[in-house]
């Protein structure tokens, strides 16, 4: 019934074998004697099942250290038996957190983008599409958005900044000034008012842009109306606040994958997120920083993408204009 | 008057006697109760010796516990936390217990603060982590050589003082309260009979070994009380297992001790050691089987792995002392280690020559090393074996423990007793008082040969026949319903 | 002493999870047992009815937390059966690497809990040290140490990281040597053999009648490994063998079950090494996430009447997932997710195996069946 070569309940196995193996393990934890060949796991044992017992062949070592990736250049010891600085002095495997941190000792474990750490959002490139909110299995993400008229669109014609706000496009938002809103806004006294400031614009979705009129489906009434081009200005959906409830988050990473605008990341941070109350775990925008390098790269990528899209649209519009003229 | 073969540098009992005589003469001797001078002096001597012995034992118990933790860490290939010294001044969780020395009265804490400052400047790490550099305290993590983790158990002890003492509702209250006293008191009393030096002991009665073993054996009764009275099925099981196990191992233990007594010719512990000194050979070389038996029986008596069924946390979750809290539990936990310590000291006294230095006659000036140091070194060396057993071996099942005790240890201890009797009667030369050198060499080499013979007893052909590749020779792909054939 | 019932659990250091085992003892002998499951029932099947197919994967991870990858992959194969998705071959190899590494980690966790059950604390720490190596590898692959959310419908979340093959090979080769050390402290220790041999006999026919599968039934001599008998993924292309013990007439004891798992660890390690060698595209190439080489196209909706089923060799036995499409959100949610957990079937049987032995044998026997209550209670 026993299928290990030495597995018989005899005197040798009573104390000799177990005590010798624990002594070996203990001696291996000391600096210089621990590195002696006699004590290693693969020191004197025969290889199993025909496999080579050596860790790395020379060819493998050559091949891997030749790559340019920063992770490869490190001398790798599989069990943290040694570090580069103290090849004979480092044992045992315990990492003395918080004095030693694992991401400094083994950075390949904490590659940002691979590691499911704390959530990080780049709010500059976020368009509030709410894909992350929808994909989260636990409803951790809360995003409050608002439809607004860009401040540049509120300038008068003739102002140098006029015309640089949000462009109207199909599927985007349009805003029309409500009647009487200018007087109401001028009469409104914020300091003594008991109600909210009056609405200045009404918002709707742009259905059609061809021709002279613009078809807009208003949000309030739901009806479609054709309006003249000068009556409406473009509006945009902006984030008012974003919040991640880390208490519910299970760090699955689906939100990172669902973001189409390269704005949602999981950093490689695993500590510093604790608090004393559940509300402490609601991370507002200021606590969702991303690594500077990751941040800059992602913003660059996203802006380049958008610039590309804008250029393509401009080219298409120019081509259409040229065609219509011709 | 005990004959001393070698003199000790530290004749502590004499010095204490001189001091108490002096004090007594100048206080009682000058008063109208002058006839009580001697008795007061003797009482004070005994009292101070008790305090010193027990204080020394409790202090060196910290060393024992420290050794266990560090050794277990090494055996298990891990490094234990080394920051206990640091924890005395840096608090956690935003609440700094730091700079506690400022709370001490009369400014006694100021030098502590200055020492802390100095150590920080000399050996501290400048760490930007907030957890580490709080209240201007830096970590001593770099200074690992400064007794890492030594005060951990002291901190543990202080923690136990702050915990609640609970008595379960339907427990038998009086028995519940008496049990810890039985255990702890008898354990502490053992140390009165263990001398640390021919001149540093608390009690040296003529039959000290008999008293010692008798008192050592009362603790199982206390364990049974504790297990029974807690009104808890688990502790009941633990108490019963413990009672059975300790009873089973008392007898081999006592027979082994008897064999040492027979060999040495006296029930007095100091005389046993003097016998080893006079005859020139430590008892372990004459009775190696006895040494092994004593070690095994003691491991079972103090309920350590591999014999720790009564408190096995896999089933009984702390066993017979589950319901105790606070310092009662702390002292019972300490008493387990005190009993281990007593076992190690006794092994050193019975078999390793007590306070005699090895090769005493050949190494010059070795008798300047105080005897207490030898005793402690030998005891701590034996403790390494206790810890090694704990790290390497599994827990034996209760009925297997009992079987081992009654069927194996008892006959072997009788064999050992017979050997000791034979040695004493027919080999020991009573006139010269020394063993012929051939005898211990012969005995030791025969024992080692037996050990090696037993250890390599393996039948290679039978093992080869047993070996097979790990999977079944004929492997066929299973199909649905195949097993119904 | 009269017979009495003692209750082990729900919180008990030995029970390998949160469940109650009521034991009737006569002195030290166990006369009857009664398991009581359901303490950590979380309603996973019901929760999954309100989640997209992609969102269910992290819940499947958390079924058995010690063996997360095996459960999420079991679900993914069932979802791919439901949605009729083609998986690229490289993704299958990567999945195999993840699953087998997880199997090694799960068995190490089992062994790390089994050693203190029989009293050896050193074995626990050594096994967890090895498990740290496996968890480091899984951290590189999946992004965290325990719940990875690694597979996607149609492939995997991302490719093997750069340098992973190097580290994986080094760690597994060291692990193969280290297994011999565990055997030194366990197989070559009389006390362990005395504790586990002759204890907890379980017969193959009874187990099959009961529905027990996995290492428990292979220890009894019955060669049923789902990867071998009904090969899915690329298991028929790898060089491995299932680990089956040849038990005695009385059945398989704890020692046989222990041996099977140790040999399974070896086999899994060899499988991973083999898979890294045979990986299409090479183990050192790195494709970006979403590349068609590692992720195939998958529809997001399943119509009513569509069903998907897959049985999978989990670390503890044969797990099955049954998915029925046509739920809420116009088919984005499943209508029913049914999970068959091997441990739910095994624990009642294992509880009856304990009758006739001593109390001290309860952790040895129960531990040798490797219960995981997370998957039992779902």
Q: State the Cα–Cα distance between residues A168 and A213, nearest whole angstrom.
A: 12
Strand partners, A50: none
Q: In total, how many domains does chain B have?
A: 3
Min Cα distance B169 → chain C (Å) is 19
Q: State the Cα–Cα distance between residues B169 and A209, nearest whole angstrom.
A: 83
Residue B374 and residue B445 share a domain: yes
Residue C5 belongs to a domain: no
Nearest CA in chain A to C191: A14
Q: State the Cα–Cα distance between residues A112 and A124, nearest whole angstrom.
A: 20
A16 CB near a chain B CB, below 8 Å?
Answer: yes
* Between residues B468 and C174, the one the model is more confident about: C174
A46 CB near a chain C CB, below 8 Å?
Answer: no
- At CB < 8 Å, which residues of chain B contact A? 71, 73-79, 82, 125, 127, 129, 131-132, 139, 141, 388-389, 391-393, 454-458, 463, 466-468, 470
Min Cα distance B57 → chain A (Å) is 28
Q: Give the end of a domain, one of B117, B132, B157.
A: B157
Beta-carbon pairs below 8 A across chains A and C: 166
pLDDT of C112 above 50: yes
- Which residues 73-92 of B are in CB contact (within 8 Å) with C? 75-78
Q: Quote the domain boundaries for residue C286.
A: 43-346
Q: In which element (H, E) is residue A236 found?
A: strand A232-245
Residue B65 belongs to a domain: yes
Residue B180 and residue B252 share a domain: yes
pLDDT of B429 above 90: no
Which of A9, A67, A108 comes nearest C140 by C-beta?
A108
Best residue in C184, C254, C271 for a mutation probing chain A (most A CBs within 10 Å): C184
Residue B233 and residue B108 share a domain: no
Q: Quote the domain boundaries for residue B399.
A: 163-455
What is the overall mean pLDDT for chain B? Answer: 79
% of chain C surpassing 70 pLDDT: 100
The pLDDT tens digits of the residues spanning A28-38 come to 777 677 767 77
DSSP secondary structure code for residue C233 in this structure? T
The pLDDT tens digits of the residues spanning C29-71 come to 889 999 999 899 999 999 999 999 999 999 999 998 899 999 9
pLDDT (average), residues A68-89 = 49
Given a contact as 3+ CB pairs under 8 Å, which chains touch A? Answer: B, C
Provide, for chain B, the percentages of residues in helix, strand and coil under a 3-state DSSP scheme, each rounded to the nearest 5. 65, 0, 35
| φ and ψ at residue A261, rounded to 5 degrees | -115, 20
Q: With an 8 Å Cβ cutoff, are C228 and B234 in contact?
A: no
pLDDT of B347 above 90: yes
pLDDT (average), residues B226-231 = 86
Q: State the Cα–Cα distance between residues B34 and C323, nearest whole angstrom.
A: 100
- Closest of C115, C132, C136 to residue C186, by C-alpha: C115
Residue B402 and residue B326 share a domain: yes
pLDDT grade for A4, boundaries at 50, 70 and 90: low
Residue B39 belongs to a domain: yes
Q: What is the pLDDT of residue A96?
A: 64
| CATH number (domain holding residue C302) | 1.10.645.10
- DSSP letters along C41-95, please? ---HHHHHTTS-HHHHHHHHHTTSGGGHHHHHHHHHHHHHHHHT----HHHHHHH
% of chain A surpassing 70 pLDDT: 74
* Between residues A110 and C216, the one the model is more confident about: C216
Which of C157, C174, C259 comes nearest A78 by C-beta?
C174
Strand partners, C291: none
Residue B2 belongs to a domain: no
Q: With an 8 Å Cβ cutoff, are A14 and C191 in contact?
A: yes
Cβ C216 vs Cβ C202: under 8 Å: yes
Instruction: Write the CB contacts of C370 (distance below 8 Å, at least 6 apart in sequence).
Output: C16, C110, C215, C216, C257, C261, C315, C316, C343
pLDDT (average), residues B325-337 = 87
Extended strands (E) in B343-448: none
- Which residues 96-155 of A are in CB contact (within 8 Å) with C? 106, 108-109, 111, 114-116, 135, 137
A10 CB near a chain C CB, below 8 Å?
Answer: yes
Residue C355 belongs to a domain: no
Torsion over CA: C192, C197, C199, C202 (sign):
positive
Which of A9, A137, A251 comes nearest C144 by C-beta?
A251
Residue B255 and residue B141 share a domain: no
The pLDDT tens digits of the residues spanning C210-254 come to 889 899 988 888 888 888 888 888 898 888 888 887 777 778 888
Q: State the Cα–Cα distance between residues B380 and B306, nearest whole angstrom.
A: 19
Given a contact as 3+ CB pairs under 8 Å, which chains touch B? Answer: A, C
pLDDT of B414 above 70: yes
Q: In total, how many domains does chain C have?
A: 1
Q: State the Cα–Cα distance between residues B425 and B429, nearest whole angstrom.
A: 9
Best residue in B395, B396, B469 for a mutation probing chain C (most C CBs within 10 Å): B395
Q: With an 8 Å Cβ cutoff, are C117 and B477 in contact?
A: no
Residues of B in contact with C243 (CB under 8 A): 470-471
Q: In which element (H, E) is residue A294 found?
A: helix A292-325
Residue B214 and residue B136 share a domain: no
Task: Say what the alpha-carbon torsion angle B245, B247, B249, B255 is, to the nearest 10 degrees.
Answer: -170
Task: Say what the alpha-carbon torsion angle A91, A92, A94, A97 is, to the nearest 10 degrees.
Answer: -20
Residue B64 and residue B122 share a domain: no
The pLDDT tens digits of the residues spanning A199-246 come to 888 888 888 877 778 888 888 888 888 888 777 888 887 777 888 888
Min Cα distance A153 → chain C (Å) is 39
pLDDT (average), residues B226-252 = 86
Min Cα distance A240 → chain C (Å) is 27
Q: With an 8 Å Cβ cutoff, are C117 and B475 in contact?
A: no
Residue B408 and residue B299 share a domain: yes
pLDDT grade for B485, boundaries at 50, 70 and 90: very low
Instruction: Write the CB contacts of A89 (distance below 8 Å, at least 6 apart in sequence).
Output: A31, A32, A82
- Which residues 226-245 of B are in CB contact (within 8 Å) with C? 233-234, 237, 241
Lowest mean pLDDT across A283-287, B469-473, C186-190: B469-473
Q: Assess if CATH 2.30.30 describes domain A146-180+198-238.
A: yes
Residues of C in contact with A109 (CB under 8 A): 136, 139-140
Residue B476 belongs to a domain: no
Q: What is the pLDDT of residue B262?
A: 92
| B218 half-sphere exposure, CB direction, 13 A CA radius | 18
Range of A72-76, B64-68, B291-295 with top mean pLDDT? B291-295
Q: Give the three-state DSSP class for C139.
A: helix
Residue B150 and residue B17 share a domain: no
Residue C357 belongs to a domain: no
Domain residue extents for chain A: 1-54, 60-110, 119-140+246-325, 146-180+198-238
Buried b (16+ CB within 10 A) or exposed e, C247-262: beeebbbbbbbbbbbb
Q: What is the pLDDT of residue B255?
A: 95
Q: With an 8 Å Cβ cutoff, are C183 and A4 in contact?
A: yes
The pLDDT tens digits of the residues spanning B121-156 come to 665 555 544 444 443 444 444 444 455 677 777 777
Q: What is the pLDDT of residue B159?
A: 80
Residue B318 and residue B364 share a domain: yes
Residue C367 belongs to a domain: no
Residues of C in contact with B391 (CB under 8 A): 121-122
Min Cα distance A174 → chain C (Å) is 30
Q: With an 8 Å Cβ cutoff, are A11 and C190 in contact?
A: yes
Reported ipTM exceeds the 0.90 cut? no
* Between residues A51 and C156, the one the model is more confident about: C156
Residue C26 belongs to a domain: no
Which of C13, C228, C246 comes nearest B313 by C-beta?
C13
A59 CB near a chain C CB, below 8 Å?
Answer: no
* Between residues C11 and B131, the one the model is more confident about: C11
Which of A2, A22, A28 comes nearest B391 by C-beta?
A22
Residue C81 belongs to a domain: yes
Nearest CA in chain A to B127: A99
Which of C170, C181, C190 comes nearest A55 by C-beta?
C170
A22 CB near a chain B CB, below 8 Å?
Answer: yes
pLDDT of B10 above 90: no
- DSSP letters along B134-172, please? BTTB-B-TT-TTS-TTTTHHHHHHHHHHTSPP---TTS-
The pLDDT tens digits of the residues spanning B166-209 come to 888 888 889 988 898 899 999 999 998 999 888 888 888 889 99
- Which residues 306-335 of B are in CB contact (within 8 Å) with C? 306, 308-309, 312-315, 317
pLDDT grade for C305, boundaries at 50, 70 and 90: confident
Min Cα distance A173 → chain B (Å) is 48
């Amino acid at each position: 019934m026993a299928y290990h070569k030495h597995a018989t309940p005899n005197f040798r196995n009573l104390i000799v074998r177990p005590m010798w193996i624990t002594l070996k393990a203990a001696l291996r934890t000391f600096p210089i004697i621990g590195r002696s060949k006699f004590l290693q796991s693969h020191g004197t044992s025969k290889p199993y099942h025909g496999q080579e017992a050596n860790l790395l062949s020379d060819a493998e070592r050559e091949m891997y250290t030749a790559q340019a990736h920063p992770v490869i250049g490190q001398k790798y010891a599989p069990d943290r038996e040694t570090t580069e600085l103290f090849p004979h002095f480092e044992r045992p495997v315990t990492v003395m957190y918080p004095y030693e941190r694992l991401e400094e000792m083994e950075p390949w474990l904490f590659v940002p983008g691979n590691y499911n750490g704390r959530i990080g959002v780049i709010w500059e490139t976020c368009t509030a599409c709410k894909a992350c909110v929808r994909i989260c299995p636990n409803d951790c993400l809360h995003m409050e958005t608002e439809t607004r008229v860009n401040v540049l669109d509120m300038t008068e014609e003739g102002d140098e900044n006029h015309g640089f706000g949000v462009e109207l496009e199909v599927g985007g938002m349009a805003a029309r000034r409500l009647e009487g809103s200018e007087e109401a806004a001028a009469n409104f006294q914020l300091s003594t008012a008991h109600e909210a400031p009056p609405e200045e614009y009404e918002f709707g979705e742009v259905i059609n842009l061809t021709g002279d009129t613009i078809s807009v489906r208003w949000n309030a009434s739901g009806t479609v109306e054709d309006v003249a081009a000068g009556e409406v200005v473009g509006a945009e959906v902006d984030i008012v606040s974003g919040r991640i409830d880390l208490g519910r988050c299970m760090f699955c990473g689906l939100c990172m994958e669902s973001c189409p605008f390269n704005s949602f990341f999981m950093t490689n941070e695993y500590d510093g997120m604790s608090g004393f109350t559940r509300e402490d775990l609601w991370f507002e925008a200021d606590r969702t920083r991303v690594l500077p390098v990751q941040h800059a790269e992602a913003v660059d990528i996203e802006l380049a993408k958008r610039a590309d899209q804008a250029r393509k649209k401009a080219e298409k519009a120019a081509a259409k204009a040229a065609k219509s003229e011709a | 008057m005990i004959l001393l073969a070698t003199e000790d540098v530290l004749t502590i009992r004499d010095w204490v006697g001189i001091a108490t005589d002096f004090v007594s003469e100048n206080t009682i001797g000058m008063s109208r109760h002058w006839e009580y001078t001697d008795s007061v002096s003797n009482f004070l001597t005994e009292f101070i010796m008790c305090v010193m012995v027990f204080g020394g034992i409790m202090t060196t118990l910290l060393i024992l516990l420290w050794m266990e933790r560090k050794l277990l860490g090494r055996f298990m290939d891990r490094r234990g936390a080394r920051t206990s010294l640091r924890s005395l001044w840096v608090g956690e969780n935003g609440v700094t217990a730091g700079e506690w020395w400022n709370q001490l009265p009369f400014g006694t804490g100021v030098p502590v603060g200055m020492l802390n400052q100095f150590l920080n400047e000399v050996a501290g790490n400048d760490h930007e982590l907030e957890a580490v550099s709080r209240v201007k305290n830096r970590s001593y993590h770099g200074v690992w050589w400064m007794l890492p983790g030594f005060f951990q158990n002291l901190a543990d002890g202080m923690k136990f003082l702050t915990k609640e003492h609970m008595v379960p509702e339907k427990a038998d209250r009086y028995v519940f309260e008496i049990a810890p006293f039985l255990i702890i008191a008898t354990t502490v009393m053992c140390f009165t009979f263990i001398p640390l030096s021919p001149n540093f002991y608390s009690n040296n009665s003529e039959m000290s070994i008999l008293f010692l073993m008798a008192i050592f054996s009362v603790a199982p009764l206390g364990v049974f009380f504790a297990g029974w009275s807690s009104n808890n099925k688990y502790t009941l099981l633990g108490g019963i297992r413990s009672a059975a196990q300790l009873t089973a191992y008392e007898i081999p233990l006592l027979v082994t001790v008897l064999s040492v007594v027979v060999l040495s010719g006296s029930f007095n512990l100091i005389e046993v050691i003097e016998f080893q000194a006079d005859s020139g050979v430590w008892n372990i070389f004459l009775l190696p089987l006895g040494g092994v038996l004593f070690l095994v029986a003691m491991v079972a008596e103090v309920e350590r792995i591999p014999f720790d069924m009564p408190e096995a946390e896999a089933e009984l979750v702390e066993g017979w002392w589950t319901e105790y809290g606070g310092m009662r539990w702390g002292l019972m936990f300490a008493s387990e280690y005190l009993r281990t310590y007593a076992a190690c000291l006794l092994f050193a006294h019975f078999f390793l020559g007590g306070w005699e230095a090895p090769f005493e006659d050949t190494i010059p000036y070795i008798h300047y090393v105080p005897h207490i140091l030898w005793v402690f070194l030998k005891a701590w060396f034996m403790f390494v074996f206790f810890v090694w057993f704990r790290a390497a071996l599994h827990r034996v099942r209760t009925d297997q423990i009992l079987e081992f005790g009654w069927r194996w240890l008892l006959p072997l201890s009788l064999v050992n007793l017979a050997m000791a009797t034979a040695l004493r009667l027919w080999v020991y030369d009573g006139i010269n008082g020394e063993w012929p050198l051939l005898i211990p060499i012969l005995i030791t080499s025969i024992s080692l040969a037996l050990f090696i013979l037993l250890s390599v007893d393996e039948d290679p052909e039978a093992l080869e026949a047993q070996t097979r590749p790990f999977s079944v020779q004929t492997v066929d792909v299973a199909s649905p319903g195949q097993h119904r054939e | 002493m009269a017979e009495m019932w003692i209750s082990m659990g729900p919180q008990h250091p030995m029970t390998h999870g949160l469940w109650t085992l009521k034991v009737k003892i006569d002195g030290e002998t166990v006369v009857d047992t009664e398991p009581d499951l359901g303490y950590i029932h979380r309603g996973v099947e019901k929760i999954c009815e309100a989640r997209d197919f992609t969102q269910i994967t992290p819940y499947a991870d958390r079924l058995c937390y010690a063996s997360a990858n095996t459960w999420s992959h079991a679900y993914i194969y069932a979802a791919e059966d439901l949605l009729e998705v083609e998986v690229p071959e490289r993704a299958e190899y990567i999945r195999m690497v993840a699953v087998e590494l997880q199997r090694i980690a799960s068995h190490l966790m089992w062994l790390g809990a089994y050693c203190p059950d029989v009293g050896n604390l050193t074995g626990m720490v050594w096994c967890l040290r090895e498990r740290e190596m496996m968890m480091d590898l899984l951290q590189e692959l999946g992004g965290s140490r325990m719940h990875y959310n690694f597979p996607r419908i149609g492939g995997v979340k991302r490719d093997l990281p750069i340098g992973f093959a190097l580290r994986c090979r080094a760690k597994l080769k060291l692990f193969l040597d280290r297994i011999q050390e565990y055997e030194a402290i366990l197989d070559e220790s009389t006390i362990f053999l005395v504790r586990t041999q002759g204890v907890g006999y379980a017969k193959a026919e009874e187990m099959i009648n009961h529905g027990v599968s996995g290492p428990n039934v292979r220890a009894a001599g019955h060669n049923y490994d789902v990867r071998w008998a009904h090969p899915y993924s690329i298991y028929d292309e790898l060089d491995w063998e299932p680990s089956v013990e040849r038990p005695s007439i009385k059945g398989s004891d704890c020692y046989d079950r222990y041996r099977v798992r140790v040999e399974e660890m070896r086999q899994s390690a060899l499988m991973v090494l083999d898979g890294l060698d045979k990986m299409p595209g090479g183990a050192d190439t790195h494709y970006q996430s979403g590349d068609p080489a590692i992720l195939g196209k998958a529809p997001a909706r399943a119509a009513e009447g569509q069903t998907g089923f897959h049985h999978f060799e989990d670390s503890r036995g044969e797990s099955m997932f049954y998915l029925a499409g046509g739920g809420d959100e116009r088919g984005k949610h499943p209508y029913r997710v049914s999970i068959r957990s091997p441990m739910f079937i095994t624990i009642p049987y294992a509880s009856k195996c304990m009758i006739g032995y001593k109390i001290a044998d309860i952790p040895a026997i129960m531990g040798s069946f490797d219960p995981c209550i997370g998957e039992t209670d779902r």
